[in-house]
Amino acid sequence: MTESRITSSDSVVNSKENSSRTGGETRKSLILLISLVLPVVGFFYLSILTPLPEAYAVCSRRGAKIYTVDDNDTVVQCLVVHNTFIVDTGSLEDVSSRWFARSSFPLPIRYISRGSIIVPGLMDSHAHILEYGASRQLFLGDARSIQEIVSLVRQHILVNAEMYDDKLRSIEGWGWDHLSWSVKEWPTADAFESDPVLRDRSVVLRSKDGHALWLSKKALESIAPLPRDFEGGVIFRRENGEPTGVLLDGAQSLVKGSGPTEQDLLRHFTTTIDDALSFGLTSIHDAGFQPVSLAFFERQTAKGSLPIRIYGMRHFNEKSPDLGNLSIPILNAANGRLNVRSVKIFADGALRSGGAALCAPYFDNPEEKGFMRIEEQLLHEVIIQYLRDGWQVNVHAIGDCANKAVLDAFEDALQYVNVSALRPRLEHAQMLTPEDVMRIGRLGVIASVQPAHATSDMWYAEERLGPERVKGLYAFRSLHDNGGILAFGSDFPVEDMNPLSGFYAAITRLSQDGTSPKGSVGWFPEQRLTREQALRGMTINAAYASFAEERLGSIVPGKLADFVVLSQDIMRIPVYQILKTKVRATIIDGRPVYGYI
């Protein structure tokens, strides 16, 4: 097979090459017969044990089972790969005909198994790569009480001899959620004091949403004295002023650890990427590169050790702000697998922990409205400056007041830059007024949403917001219908990494057991998306959100060959079967990185 002879233009057969209508029809019939017969006898057919050649086709045996997510949501029977690119799509007859017109060599074909489908490589638009790997070391998300968590931490120490012997070593865990406990109360440092294994140890446990830390007394002592107040955060205190052991949002920065070693970082990275590839993820948007993590990914890039595509957001520190002109974006490093051209800013906290900035008090806490983590004047200034310097600006905004403030800043920036061209993003965009739903579409702001958050939060949302405001929470269909571009993510490790969990949540508004506060119809079912809309959210829209829609996000000639083979047709099967779907293969740049085809 001749190298470098096939490009995206090869998917079109020039009419001059088929000058004879009769001859063309004869050849067409012959090719169809060959393509149907030879795979059976093994001439063209490639066994799964055979390494993939530089050019090959992947087809369904009967019918169209490849969802291209092109402009017309076309479904085809075959795709053709040459080197790292998709060079043709269509029926078996058509791709064979076009191949035969261009090459004297046969087209190797692999067939997906019965019932399987192919979709573009799946993308997660909001995740935390190294944090996910770290969270697997001591995961607390399944615990249903303070006592269970204390027991888990104790067991974690007892099974690790080195940790048990080193009482100076800080114990870290992730995933506790006081709203899922049998008694919904905030934990305190006292909980660790009754256990002789934990007493006098530094314990630092991060909450499920990442917006709260629960510290032991030893950990509190290490950061004493604490300031009375902390702008952009909260230090929980008893009536006598003594800290309880919980820090919210910006106050978490008071805890200064020794930081992970290179071995820790590599282990966390490997854990995450192994899981991600097994779930069909080919691209991840990391929502907050700290200096340590950014340096780690740059080292992996230099070693050629990025098995997945990563789009990074630099973390913006509101306490020591630096502007975009002090840093240089990273573009298409590691053969296009690492890009860092955006900045992540926090506008407020989280709904679960009460830090989301609301315009009116919380329904279940009339004394509180949450808080902004950054002054609105500074928010306007840094957004305008970053956009002027060519950076994409991605702002975490949960509450209606926070979302309004960010959209005001984006609209203000219109005076100075082309906002739509720089594709600013609202990360989460959870609670919106009807006016701001419409404004997102009008301004061209991307709504980077996490559908699984909706089905996690639905069990307590009305209690927290009341029956009217809760209607503006996770308004996905309203955003779509008003011209908003929705890019899907999971926020892992906050939610399940599996992108099909988000797909299921978006089209059903149900928990994984098929229930919701509104019954089996789903939580505010008028906000459900169609399957086609949901698939676009985790493919082409996510590519657009990272300036990659010309290279990724759909199965069309000329784009990179990133695609996934799924065991079931998620676009047609009953919704209750979707979460049983398995990934048979994950392909990046035309090569399997998980499973086989």
Co-location of 198 and 114 in the same domain: no
Give pLDDT tens digits for 458-503: 999 999 999 999 999 999 999 999 999 999 999 999 999 999 999 9
**Lowest mean pLDDT, pick from 233-242, 317-326, 328-337, 536-545:** 317-326
Average pLDDT, the chain: 90
Q: Does residue 15 form part of some domain?
A: yes
Q: Does residue 323 form part of some domain?
A: no
The number of domains in the chain is 2
Q: Does residue 377 form part of some domain?
A: no
Co-location of 101 and 208 in the same domain: no
pLDDT of residue 525: 98
pLDDT of residue 325: 53
Give pLDDT tens digits for 242-297: 999 999 988 998 998 767 889 999 999 999 999 999 999 999 999 989 889 999 99
**Gyration radius of the chain over CA positions:** 26
Q: Which of 254, 273, 300 is the last residue of a domain?
A: 254
pLDDT at 521 over 90: yes
Six token digits for residue 207: 């909450």
pLDDT of residue 418: 85
In this prediction, residue 5 has a pLDDT band, given cuts at 50, 70 and 90, of very low
Co-location of 106 and 156 in the same domain: no
Q: Does residue 566 form part of some domain?
A: yes
pLDDT at 125 over 70: yes
Quick one: average pLDDT of 136-146? Answer: 93
Quick one: average pLDDT of 51-64? Answer: 94
Co-location of 59 and 140 in the same domain: no
Co-location of 38 and 3 in the same domain: yes
* Dist. CA 189–CA 222, nearest whole Å: 13
pLDDT of residue 259: 78
- Which residues, at least 6 apart from 331, have a Cβ–Cβ distance to it below 8 Å? 339, 341
Among 25, 2, 66, residue whose Cα is nearest residue 587: 66
Co-location of 245 and 136 in the same domain: yes
Give the 3-state secondary structure of residue 338: strand
pLDDT of residue 333: 85
Q: Does residue 163 form part of some domain?
A: yes
Co-location of 85 and 166 in the same domain: no
Name the percent of the chain lying above pLDDT 90. 77
Quick one: average pLDDT of 505-525? Answer: 98
Co-location of 194 and 243 in the same domain: yes
pLDDT of residue 28: 46
pLDDT of residue 38: 42
Co-location of 140 and 219 in the same domain: yes
pLDDT of residue 37: 43
567-589 burial, b for 16+ CB within 10 Å, e for fewer? Answer: ebbbbeeeeeebeebebbbbbbb
577 in Cβ contact with 115 (< 8 Å): no
Give pLDDT tens digits for 324-342: 555 788 988 888 899 999 9
Quick one: average pLDDT of 189-196? Answer: 93
338 in Cβ contact with 297 (< 8 Å): yes
pLDDT of residue 323: 54
Co-location of 101 and 198 in the same domain: no
CATH number of the domain at 92, please: 2.30.40.10
pLDDT at 11 over 70: no
* Dist. CA 138–CA 134, nearest whole Å: 8
Question: How many helical (H) and strand (E) elements, i.e. helices and strands, does the chain have?
Answer: 19, 24
Quick one: average pLDDT of 117-133? Answer: 98
Q: Does residue 259 form part of some domain?
A: no
In this prediction, residue 317 has a pLDDT band, given cuts at 50, 70 and 90, of confident
* Dist. CA 88–CA 80, nearest whole Å: 5
In this prediction, residue 232 has a pLDDT band, given cuts at 50, 70 and 90, of confident
pLDDT of residue 456: 96
CA distances from 207 to 182, 436, 559 (A): 16, 29, 40
pLDDT at 43 over 90: no
The dihedral region occupied by 158, where left means phi > 0, alpha psi between -120 and 50, and beta the remainder, is alpha
pLDDT of residue 121: 99
The dihedral region occupied by 354, where left means phi > 0, alpha psi between -120 and 50, and beta the remainder, is left
Give pLDDT tens digits for 357-375: 999 999 999 999 999 999 9
pLDDT of residue 320: 66
Co-location of 92 and 201 in the same domain: no
Co-location of 248 and 160 in the same domain: yes
Q: Which of 254, 289, 308 is the last residue of a domain?
A: 254
Among 180, 185, 183, residue whose Cα is nearest residue 214: 185
Q: Does residue 318 form part of some domain?
A: no
In this prediction, residue 417 has a pLDDT band, given cuts at 50, 70 and 90, of confident
Six token digits for residue 32: 């169809």
CATH number of the domain at 136, please: 3.10.310.70
pLDDT at 25 over 60: no
For residue 189, what are the domain limits? 130-254
Q: Which of 230, 254, 278 is the last residue of a domain?
A: 254
pLDDT of residue 282: 99
Quick one: average pLDDT of 543-563? Answer: 98
Instruction: Tell me which of 546 and 328 has the higher pLDDT.
Output: 546
Q: Does residue 268 form part of some domain?
A: no
Within a 10 A sphere around the Cβ of 62, how many other Cβ atoms? 9
In this prediction, residue 354 has a pLDDT band, given cuts at 50, 70 and 90, of very high
